[in-house]
Structure 1
Amino acid sequence: MGFKSASTAIIRRNLYELGYHGRAGVRKPFVSEQNRLKRLSWCKERTNWKKEWENVVWSDESKYLLFQNDSHHWIWRKLKEKYDVNCLLPTVKQGSSGIMVWGAFINNKPGPLVIIRENINAKKYREILQEHFLPFYTSLGNENVYIFQDDNAPVHSANIVTDWKTENLIDSLPCPAQSPDLNPIEHIWDYLEKHVRKHEQRLMNLS
């Protein structure tokens, strides 16, 4: 039994009737199977955490591009499949001109926001921790045991940085690789980016 050809309109109508709609695919960072399992294990180990989350100091860097790529790739999916693994578009990091910042917060208390005007390396990161993070961390007092979270990027895990944390009695929260979505500071970066995008036509250079 052979297949009959059908027009695009007929195919589209049939897809609509089956509950599929054309939507821009949500991009996600590539995650290997090994790291996926590590991420799952990390979450399961902290299933019963409640008060502990309030004592985590979350931190990270973020880069705001001067020029954005607004291209979209369309996929066919059902209304509730926006974040289905088969409907996501993998992305990889790429370099581009922009402004980088480092920030931190704990629970509902914002920490420092630092504009990084040079390439960040382990020495620069340690300087940020010493000059900006440590005063904020110290201001929290000693009523609770606070945990500092930064991911396992090379500049964060360099010897001079881990030695600095040890010298200053900073407890760290281990974080699995390829897991920016496990850090709630990403919501803050997303909020800031939306505001930056509103004014991006004014950002002509880094000065």
Structure 2
Amino acid sequence: MRNKILWSDETKIELFGVNARRHVWRKPGTAHHEANTIPTVKHGGGSIMLWGCFSAAGTGRLVRIEGKMNAAMYRDILDKNLLQSALDLRLGRRFIFQQDNDPKHTAKISKQWLQDHSVNVLEWPSQSPDLNPIEHLWRDLKMAVHRRLPSNLMERGGKWV
């Protein structure tokens, strides 16, 4: 059964600083060496919101979310990406879709789309983001973004989404 689950979630990636705490071990007198500093910019440098999914077979589609997501936007993301991701990953029509209990996910318009397309939805406990294995992928993605040190939101957004 686990091989048929398509895990999904949204995440926000901050360009500078907020995604992860960083510690630096350094020798006395080397505080300002490039290897011992963390670049910052005024006002945080921007962020990007993403929706993505994956299964045991691999990663599905990754979608950049423009603006504040609502239920209609979520339904559109499902419409353009969910079934295609399941097809690309060869999950078959009887795959199980996982989403958390975010109000956008449980809105009537979202539930109706899932029902109209005969998508089986995994029942999910409330307030349990730590149970979703996609959180590990988001962590890896955020670390990769920070290793590349993009200078601004446009540079970062244009390279991988």
Q: Same fold (TM over 0.5)?
A: yes
Would the aligned equivalents of 2:12 and 2:47 in 1 still touch at CA under 8 Å? yes
Q: Which residue of 2 aligns with 1:163?
A: 112
Once residues 131 and 201 of structure 1 are traced to their aligned partners in structure 2, the CA distance between those partners, rounded to angstroms, is 29
Shift of 1:199: 2.8
**Secondary structure in structure 2 of the residue aligned to 1:174:** coil
Q: Which residue of 1 aligns with 2:78?
A: 129
Once residues 103 and 188 of structure 1 are traced to their aligned partners in structure 2, the CA distance between those partners, rounded to angstroms, is 10
Larger gyration radius, structure 1 or structure 2? 1
**Secondary structure in structure 2 of the residue aligned to 1:202:** coil
Would the aligned equivalents of 2:4 and 2:95 in 1 still touch at CA under 8 Å? yes
Runs of 4+ deviating beyond 6 Å: none
Please list every run of 5 or more consecutive structure 2 residues that lacks an aligned counterpart in the other structure: 23-44
Percent identity, aligned pairs only, is: 36
Please list every run of 5 or more consecutive structure 1 residues that lacks an aligned counterpart in the other structure: 1-51, 73-95
- One-letter amino acid of the structure 2 residue matched with residue 125 of structure 1: Y
TM-score by length of 1: 0.58
Once residues 84 and 150 of structure 2 are traced to their aligned partners in structure 1, the CA distance between those partners, rounded to angstroms, is 36
1:183 aligned onto 2:144: no
- One-letter amino acid of the structure 1 residue matched with residue 138 of structure 2: W
Once residues 103 and 146 of structure 2 are traced to their aligned partners in structure 1, the CA distance between those partners, rounded to angstroms, is 29
Once residues 204 and 158 of structure 1 are traced to their aligned partners in structure 2, the CA distance between those partners, rounded to angstroms, is 31
- Cα deviation 1:81-100 (Å, max 9, x = unaligned): xxxxxxxxxxxxxxx94101
1:55 aligned onto 2:1: no
Residue among 130, 141, 145 paired with 2:94: 145
Would the aligned equivalents of 2:71 and 2:107 in 1 still touch at CA under 8 Å? yes
Once residues 102 and 192 of structure 1 are traced to their aligned partners in structure 2, the CA distance between those partners, rounded to angstroms, is 12
Relative to its length, the structure with more strand (as a share) is 1
- One-letter amino acid of the structure 2 residue matched with residue 126 of structure 1: R
Change (3 A) 1:127 1:197: same
Change (3 A) 1:55 1:194: same
Q: Which residue of 1 aligns with 2:144?
A: 195
1:109 aligned onto 2:52: no
Shift of 1:122: 0.3
Q: CA RMSD in A?
A: 2.3
Change (3 A) 1:66 1:130: same
Once residues 96 and 153 of structure 2 are traced to their aligned partners in structure 1, the CA distance between those partners, rounded to angstroms, is 39
Shift of 1:204: 5.0
Shift of 1:136: 2.1
Shift of 1:200: 3.5
